[in-house]
């Protein structure tokens, strides 16, 4: 047994785990200030957005595209969009936000990335639990199917982490790109199917829309809440492949540009 513990690989893995754990604890206490109340904002962001969407759209239309509750329809769309968006944002700033800590030779850019992803997964878990738990009290859903819900969440978070990791490098190399990225991603919210179904979009535009992986992932997520909804347009190989490709490519870029990332911008 002693031999197993002196295995250098296992030992360095344990060290790496300890470093990531330290970063997670540190970010937990600093991210929203030192007070627990700060965490409210992680929950309030989706809740307020959904409330606004519900108020505005229930004034325009009489029934939502699916079911009878506007709140449930927008929640299932926005919760998933938020998982992707917040993960990609948190990861893309992971290295810059922890730059001072890179002065410790034991801390590598990868540790900051892994730490942020773990903290984000934990935060999103709590946020979604509160969001859908609260929602259940207001509009009880008939039945839910956890498999597509969890699968869609994992795909969205993986895609977000991959896009964020690649953006660590691109943002570091070009602040122009960072500006441009911010601008072209602003309408992402509108074209991701948060407040409509892709089935309702006329033909040539529907094809363009289906290039957006979030449309597929939101469709998959909704099948878990609406037992009769089929979402036949969901292309599983496309979204799974894209998520895996993005995380591998993103981490590869971080590895390739390790030397550049360690220098200040």
Partner 1 sequence: MIRLDRVTKSFRLKGETRYIAKDVSFTVPRGDSIGLLGRNGAGKSTLLRLIAGTIKPTSGRIIRLANVSFPLGFQGSFNGSLTGEQNVRFVARIYGHDTEELVDYVQDFAELGKSYYTPVKSYSSGMKARLAFGVSMGIDFDYYLVDEITAVGDSNFKKKCKRVFEEKLQNSDIIMVSHSNASLKDYCTTGIVLEDGSLTYFANIDDAIKMHDENMARR
Task: Name the residues that contact partner 1, by CB under 8 A.
Answer: 14-15, 18-19, 21-23, 25-26, 29-30, 33-34, 100-107, 258-259, 262-263
Is 26 or 47 the residue whose CB approaches partner 1 more closely? 26
31 DSSP β-pair partners = 33
Is 21 or 177 the residue whose CB approaches partner 1 more closely? 21
What span, in angstroms and rounded, lies between the C-alpha atoms of 124 and 122? 6
| Burial group, residue 22, by CB count within 10 angstroms (0-12, 13-18, 19+) | middle
CB of 259 to partner 1, least distance (A): 4
Is 230 or 265 the residue whose CB approaches partner 1 more closely? 265
CB of 99 to partner 1, least distance (A): 9
33 DSSP β-pair partners = 31
CB of 122 to partner 1, least distance (A): 18
CB of 101 to partner 1, least distance (A): 5
Residue 145 Cα to chain centre, angstroms = 21
Is 1 or 100 the residue whose CB approaches partner 1 more closely? 100
Report the chain's terminal Cα–Cα distance, integer Å: 47
CB of 78 to partner 1, least distance (A): 30
The DSSP symbol for 225 reads: T
CB of 260 to partner 1, least distance (A): 9
DSSP string computed for 113-147: HHHHHHHHHHHHHHHHHHHHHHHHHHS--S---HH
Is 131 or 251 the residue whose CB approaches partner 1 more closely? 251
Closest among 36, 21, 59 to 126, alpha carbons compared: 36
What span, in angstroms and rounded, lies between the C-alpha atoms of 120 and 44? 16
Is 175 or 185 the residue whose CB approaches partner 1 more closely? 175
What span, in angstroms and rounded, lies between the C-alpha atoms of 219 and 201? 14
Is 208 or 255 the residue whose CB approaches partner 1 more closely? 255
Residue 111 near residue 19, CB atoms below 8 Å: yes
CB of 214 to partner 1, least distance (A): 34
């Amino acid at each position: 047994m002693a031999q197993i513990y002196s295995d250098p690989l296992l030992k360095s893995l344990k060290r790496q785990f300890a470093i990531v754990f330290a970063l997670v604890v540190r970010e937990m206490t600093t991210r929203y200030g030192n007070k627990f109340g700060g965490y409210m904002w992680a929950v309030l962001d989706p809740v307020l957005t959904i409330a606004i969407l519900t108020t505005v759209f229930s004034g325009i239309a009489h029934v939502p595209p699916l079911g009878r509750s506007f709140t449930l329809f927008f929640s299932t769309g926005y919760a998933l969009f938020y998982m992707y968006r917040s993960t990609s944002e948190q990861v893309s700033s992971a290295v810059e936000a922890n730059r001072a800590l890179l002065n410790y030779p034991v801390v590598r850019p990868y540790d900051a990335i892994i730490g942020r992803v773990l903290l984000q997964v934990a935060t999103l878990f709590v946020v979604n639990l509160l969001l859908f738990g609260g929602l259940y009290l207001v509009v009880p859903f008939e039945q839910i199917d956890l498999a597509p819900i969890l699968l869609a969440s994992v795909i969205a978070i993986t895609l977000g982490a991959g896009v964020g990791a690649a953006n660590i490098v691109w943002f570091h190399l070009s602040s122009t790109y960072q500006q441009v990225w911010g601008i072209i991603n602003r309408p992402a919210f509108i074209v991701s199917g948060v407040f409509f179904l892709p089935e309702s979009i006329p033909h040539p535009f529907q094809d363009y829309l289906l290039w957006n992986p979030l449309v597929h992932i939101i469709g998959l997520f909704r099948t878990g809440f609406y037992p009769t909804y089929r979402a036949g347009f969901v292309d599983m190989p496309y979204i799974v492949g894209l998520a895996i490709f993005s995380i591998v490519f993103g981490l590869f870029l971080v590895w390739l540009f390790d030397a550049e990332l360690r220098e200040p911008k």
